[in-house]
Amino acid sequence: MTQERKVSMAGKRKQQDVTEDPRYHDTRKLLKKYRDVSWSLELSVQRLRNQFHVEYGTDIDDFLDTVYLAGADLGGTELEHHAQCIERSHKMLTLLENAVELLRNKHKNGEAYYWILYYSYLSPQQYQNTEEIIEQLRPHIRDISRTTYFRKQEQAIQALSAILWGYTAQDSNAILAGFIPPQT
């Protein structure tokens, strides 16, 4: 076997692993981290603003406007590194928030799924147990029981996963199998 063929096969195997390995598209884990990342991001921005004000005696936004107007380059500085970290975290949160909004507005069960995801993972207040979450859901979802909550939560996460990651190869095969009869 040629070296090119080995590399090509390894690349296909790696691509297949990414689409079928749940670690790469773990929506539940992403949702569980949302509050922590959101809080950490807020603290990081505030800490950076305060530190900058103490060190330079000016607001960071005014400083950056002045630097960019002057054509100065902040490449490679600690300030640039902090800004890039904050920007990456912000982009991740925005991606998730936009996907949740799309789910809410476009999915046939979007409103119910939104509230389930909101009280389970996204609200600033983290509830202590399932009963507290269900109490919060009652004004939004009529007659919700514990089992209904867990079933709908799983469906909401699956729907959100489809928005975030698209269909994986396994999902597509299952869908196609429903339309194409098995060959005998």
Alpha helices, DSSP H only, in the chain?
Answer: 3-20, 27-56, 60-70, 78-106, 110-117, 130-137, 146-165, 169-179
10-residue mean pLDDT profile of the chain (184 residues): values are 52 47 70 88 80 73 63 63 77 90 96 97 94 97 95 96 75 63 62
DSSP state of 182: P
Residue 108 φ/ψ, nearest 5 degrees? -60, -30
Run of H or E including 119: none
Q: Residue 114's closest CA among 146, 71, 72, 160?
A: 160
Please enumerate, as own/partner, the contacts of 145-151 that have beta carbons within 8 Å and a separation of 24 or more.
Answer: 149/116
Distance CA 169, CA 157 (A): 18
pLDDT value at residue 23: 46
Q: What is the pTM of this model?
A: 0.67
Residue type, 74: L
Distance CA 27, CA 157 (A): 7
Q: Residue 127's closest CA among 119, 139, 138, 118?
A: 119
Distance CA 182, CA 22 (A): 27
pLDDT value at residue 18: 40
